[in-house]
Copies of this chain bind each other. A is one copy, B any other.
Amino acid sequence: MADSTSPVTPPVSRSNSSRNRSWWGWGTADKALPDAECTALGGLVPGSAATPLPVPDISALELPKVRVEPPSALAPLMSAAPRDRASHTYGKAYRDVVRALNGDLSAAPDQVAHPRTEQDVIDVLDWAADADVAVVPYGAGSSVVGGVEYRADRHRGVVSLDLSNLDRVLEIDPVSRAARIQAGTLGPDLEAQLRPHGLTLRHFPQSFEFSTLGGWLATRAGGHYATLYTHIDDLVESLRVVTPVGVNESLRLPGSGAGPSPDRMFLGSEGTLGVITEAWMRLQDRPRHKASATVLFGDVHAAMNALRAIAQSGLHPANCRLLDPGETALAGVARDGESVLVLGVESAHSPVGERLAQLVTLARDHGGSPAPAAPDAQDAAEDAAAGTWRSAFLRMPYLRDALARMSVITETFETACTWDRAPGLYESVRRGLGDVVREVTGTAGTINCRFTHVYPDGPAPYFTVIAPGRRGEEVAMWDEIKTAAMQILTDHGATVTHHHAVGRDHRPGYDRQRPEPFAHALRAVKQALDPAGILNPGVLFDTAAAG
């Protein structure tokens, strides 16, 4: 058994995801909606602009002057090409896309580094610490919270550290079902390298195609599945992290009680304490049995009660997604005023029909009406439906970009709270934030909610806001709405983020919810591991100037 760990040797070609990336918006440039479709889509939102904002020509954009040049030894890793700098200026939040469309690239990094090895990462950090250059770790840039955008002004320059060349599964242990994976590996590339072994990480965030393992780990990403293993945290066996004071590698362990978890200190550290270069990740056998069902509810609060009963049942559905009436209408999947609960069960080993039946019974006990549908996803029609939904899900950010071009404010925010607070929070967002949207935009706009993850003690509600913006004022308008949203979350004891991370945009809410002694401790850790203060400054906390 001891020799069963088999190194994965065949090189795997990079997925399409890493080619032809849009520098200003989501995903690949070829999937952006053409102008005519943008206009048509905008037509669905009363008050939107009449024509789409043009996508600026990158060669016409004014980028800030490059302030720092790398030493010759590092020069081969670095680029100051306008396209590299432009595409590494922002993440992919609504406000990022709008600013890019407006040609505002004042926050562009001076250099973009593409390390090919861990040693390259170490060398870049060493140089940066000496040269007082800020380093912003960059996986695939899908942050929606300002996580990769330098906003401070106290460094001599800024390097975006793009880990996309570290894209390999290095080793697979089929006995323990684990793999050693480089941090820059994109979702599809990672799964492609595991598939021949019958294994899967089974972590599918909405950003799956355009985000990396390292990004997931640094931000405590949430996957597609609703229960049990929701966050990437629980799939980590060990981490390897380059910090400015040395490489931190934890033991590969299935479980341990030896002191505070070293991995949990780096999970969620968002590039402020070190650069994750690889991780041993827990894998799963690929599911062979799947079944799903849809249940309709006339009353959203009854649906929430059903959701809670299911979350507390120990039945662990893979999917347990509740769409409120607005979200249901937007998806066009049921009648006016109805809420839809989508249930899915999966297993690599045992038939799941019985478990699905129990789940549906629980939903019915709480007033739900099962929709007539093939309950077995092995069935081709059901597979096709799931595929359609998956496509729509992955297409959403492109629609968001199209609406952004029509000056429609369209953004999401998400949270988690205990069940006792969930109904009040839901109503407060609908009403309280509704008032704010009306005040800011002059229209009722749309505020929808879906519940993406559920725990025995509470759900993770995910809100979508859509409302017409005034051209040129979209970012300021959204910021006003977002500030109010964060205050509502604080008022209800809900977290500022369930899985989007803190970055820079969530700082006001995060600073309120983080216990002060812990903040003090975290700053001490920062000072210990990054004494020059070069790593992703301004994310999670403020730190003193480099010293």
Contacts and interface: CB of A to CB of B under 8 A. Distances in A.
A481 B20 CA distance: 61
B261 A264 contact: yes
Contacts of A257: 219-222, 231, 268, 495, 497-501
Interface in A61-105: none
Interface stretch (A238-246, A403-411, A468-476): A238-246
Contact of A528 (B2, B420, B455, B523): B523
Which range contains the number of A residues in contact with the other chain?
35 or more
Interface in A200-252: 219-222, 230-231, 237, 241, 243, 245-252
A169 to B, nearest CB: 16
Contact of A248 (B308, B313, B424, B515): B515
Interface in A461-494: 493-494
B350 A282 contact: no
Interface stretch (A127-135, A170-178, A330-338, A389-397): A170-178
A173 B253 contact: no
A460 interface: yes
A270 B262 contact: no
A133 to B, nearest CB: 21
B458 A312 contact: no
A455 B222 contact: no
Contacts of A241: 517
Contact of A517 (B246, B252, B285, B496): B246
Given A1-B423, A245-B520, A256 B498 contact: yes
A235 to B, nearest CB: 10
Given A268-B257, A510-B258, A456 B525 contact: no
Contacts of A249: 515
B457 A177 contact: yes
A446 interface: no
A114 interface: no
Q: How many copies, total?
A: 2
A266 interface: yes
Given A260-B522, A416-B255, A418-B253, A349 B315 contact: yes
Contacts of A197: none
Contacts of A515: 248-250, 262
Contact of A247 (B221, B268, B419, B517): B517
Contacts of A344: none
Contacts of A308: 175
A540 interface: yes
A366 to B, nearest CB: 14
A525 B520 CA distance: 8
A522 B524 CA distance: 9
Contacts of A495: 251, 253, 255-258
Contacts of A219: 257
Interface in A253-286: 253-262, 264-270, 273-274, 282, 284-285
Interface in A159-201: 173, 175-178
A354 to B, nearest CB: 7
Interface of A: 1-2, 4-5, 173, 175-178, 219-222, 230-231, 237, 241, 243, 245-262, 264-270, 273-274, 282, 284-285, 308, 312-315, 347-350, 354, 358, 416-424, 453, 455-460, 493-502, 506, 510, 513-518, 520-525, 527-529, 540
